[in-house]
Amino acid sequence: MSKAGKPIWPKIPPGFVRAVLAGHSALGLAFAALIYLVCFSGTVAVFAEEFHRWEQPAAPRMDAISPAALQTAVEGALARYGKAEHIFIDLPTEGAPRVSLYLDREAGDLELFADAQGRLTDPAPTPWTDFMTTLHIYLHLPRSWGIFVVGLTGVALLSSLISGIFSHPRVFRDAFHLRWGGSKRLQEADLHNRIGIWALPFHVTIALTGALLGLTTIIAGVLALALFQGDVGRAYDLFLPPAPQDDPRPAPLPRVDAALAQVVRMSPEAVPTYVGLEHPGERGQSVQVLAGAPGRLSAGENYVFDGTGRPLTEGPMGGETLGAQIIQAIGQLHFGWFGGWPIKLVYAVLGAGLTVVTTSGVAIWLARRRDKGRPAPMWERVWIATVWSQPLAFGASAALAFVPAIPPLASWAVATLLALGSAFVWTAPAAISRRLRLASALGLGLAVIAHMAVWRGAATDPVAWITNAVAMLLAAGLILSVWPRAARPLGAPAPAPAE
């Protein structure tokens, strides 16, 4: 047991500490903006179900739908809109009590909702939710490249967390030591280190699971080389359910009702949450059902059937491949999509803390340079503009998502570029921060106003009203943060002299 007052790792050579600290700074700067974007968007993505409900608050709500009604909905969708390559169906859950059908078509994708009798609504897009989740998962890059870059970001974040711990040998001993009332840089350094250490298990979990999800292609390739003489298909069989052979010849529409009945027969305790149809109306069609059981971290197990509802796999819950169960659990653990609202709120708070750790780390490095007589005023302005660009861009894109002619990705990109451009127009970081915070508050307020104007009295989902209320509270908080005095925000570098 170490003596009181000694560092937790007293034998680490000072030179090693300095070298690791230098590597920590370089690594953090290289990936700082990307890590920040992934952390910020991930914190928002925790509430993807709620935003989906916010965008379509008049969709029929229900606790369950019968297999016969779901069959009616599928047949109605194909009869009304023609052939689809795939149909992805989300079944009612506690977090999303409605049925949505997503049709993957050559003529253009469509999203529909169904009521308890299987009657379909008109196309009901959710462009902002799709934009936000795709930004976090793929960065709107080609999917294989995007998820790979996000996976590397997870690796960089994990490396920064580990190097940060080793570069501060006293971090555990000083876990509850905060130096208030003195140097602003020291206050922020303490807060950066305290948030980093208090929530370290969460930070490591998010970074590690994100890296694993993003690098599945590389993992599958390594497994193929190690276990199957390079056969990648056999490696993917560890994670994916079997599928029938492709056969484009016409066939009767798939029997979704029969497939759901088979799931109940095989696993009476299973609760179906998702149905996927591959090439419906062809001989090679298949029906995939994802069904979970209460109390399990995994999203569930996959059951695969042919077009008649005949099982292509036979087995009770737990009979799925270990690899598939691990992937399902990792996804749930990464996004916080388990345990309902309490877990989501915890993830939101901890995710915001991880975002603060990312932003404040760069700000501390810039402030340290200034204290040593090597200031980087341009980078200080660029960084504070980067930090506040995303609250502005997310709010603006949400407000303009109700204008069909303006894709959310376009409005997000324009708002981000305008925010970054402010670093070249205003020379004081504090002024950039204040103005971008006010602009972010305006964006959030406009998003609420646009939502209420579009839906007026048609919004029947209470989650839509809760979302609007939270957005207005956030906007009010941003306004209060700059009034009545120009307080410097957490994570901002020491302000340069005003113009």
pLDDT tens across 297-329, in order? 667 788 889 999 998 876 544 445 566 667 778
Reference 156, options 203, 218, 219; nearest CA is 203
116 pLDDT above the threshold of 90: yes
Cβ-proximal residues to 18 (8 Å cutoff; 6+ apart), any chain: none
pLDDT class of 378 with cuts at 50, 70, 90 = confident
Using alpha carbons, select from 343, 328, 327 the residue that is nearest to residue 202.
343
Between CA 401 and CA 171 the distance in angstroms is: 44
Assess contact for 271 and 291: CB atoms under 8 A: yes
In a domain, 306, yes or no: yes
Quote the pLDDT of residue 258: 96
pLDDT at 113 over 90: yes
User: What one-character-per-residue DSSP string does 159-182 give?
Assistant: HHHHHHHHT-TTTTTTTT----SS
Q: Map residue 460 onto helix, strand or coil.
A: coil
With respect to residue 248, please indicate whether it lies within any of the assigned structural domains: yes
Question: Please, which contacts does 393-397 make with residues 24 or more away whose CB atoms are closer than 8 Å?
Answer: 393/419, 394/44, 394/132, 394/443, 395/440, 395/441, 395/442, 395/443, 395/444, 395/446, 395/447, 396/443, 396/446, 397/128, 397/131
pLDDT at 267: 84
Whole-prediction pTM? 0.85
Higher pLDDT, 250 or 8: 250
Domain that holds residue 283: 60-123+240-320
286-292 and 271-278 as β-strands: parallel, antiparallel, unpaired?
Answer: antiparallel
Residue 273 in 3-state DSSP? strand
Which residue did the predictor score with more confidence, 196 or 344? Answer: 344
Q: Is residue 145 part of a domain?
A: no
The model's pLDDT over 417-448, given as tens digits with 9 standing for 90+, comes to 999 999 999 989 999 999 999 999 999 999 99
Tell me the two tokens of residue 408: 């959310």
- The model's confidence at residue 200, banded by pLDDT at 50, 70 and 90, is confident
Q: Does 36 reside within a domain?
A: no
- The encoded tokens of residue 33 equal 């903006």
pLDDT one-digit tens code per residue, 43-72: 999 999 999 999 999 999 999 999 999 999
Domain contains 119: yes
269 occurs within a structural domain = yes
pLDDT of residue 156: 87
* Alpha-helical regions (H) of 56-170: 67-81, 127-138, 143-166
User: Bigger pLDDT: 292 or 113?
Assistant: 113
Give the span between the Cα atoms of 342 and 349, in whole angstroms.
Answer: 11
pLDDT for the residue 19: 64
Residue 362 DSSP SS3? helix
Q: Nearest to residue 285, comparing CAs of 69, 84, 71, 76?
A: 84
Question: Is residue 70 one of the residues assigned to a domain?
Answer: yes
Q: Are 38 and 359 in contact (CB under 8 A)?
A: no
Q: Given a cut of 70, is residue 390 above it in pLDDT?
A: yes
Rounded average pLDDT over 186-210: 81
Residue 379, pLDDT above cutoff 60: yes
Quick one: what percent of the chain has pLDDT higher than 70? 78
The residue with tokens 């497939």 is: 259
Of 1-10, 182-191, 266-275, 445-454, least confident by mean pLDDT is 1-10
Residue burial 226-247, b: 16+ Cβ < 10 Å; e: rest:
eeeeeeeeebebbbbbeebeee
Q: What is the distance between the alpha carbons of residues 439 and 408, in angstroms, rounded to a whole number? A: 17
Query: E strands of 175-248, at which residues?
Result: none
pLDDT at 294: 66
Host H or E run for residue 308:
none
pLDDT band at 372 (very low <50, low <70, confident <90, very high): confident
Residue 293 included in any domain: yes
Give 189's pLDDT tier (boundaries 50, 70, 90). Answer: confident
State pLDDT tens for residues 238-297: 666 666 677 889 999 999 999 999 998 888 888 999 999 999 999 999 999 988 876 666
Q: Please enumerate in sequence order all residues whose Cβ is within 8 A of that of 226, keeping only pairs 6 or more positions apart, or say none.
A: none
Alpha-carbon distance of 205 to 3, in angstroms, equals 31
The structural domain count of the chain equals: 1
What is the residue-averaged pLDDT of the chain? 84
Mean pLDDT value of segment 382-398: 96
Q: Residue 499: what pLDDT?
A: 37
pLDDT of residue 487: 46
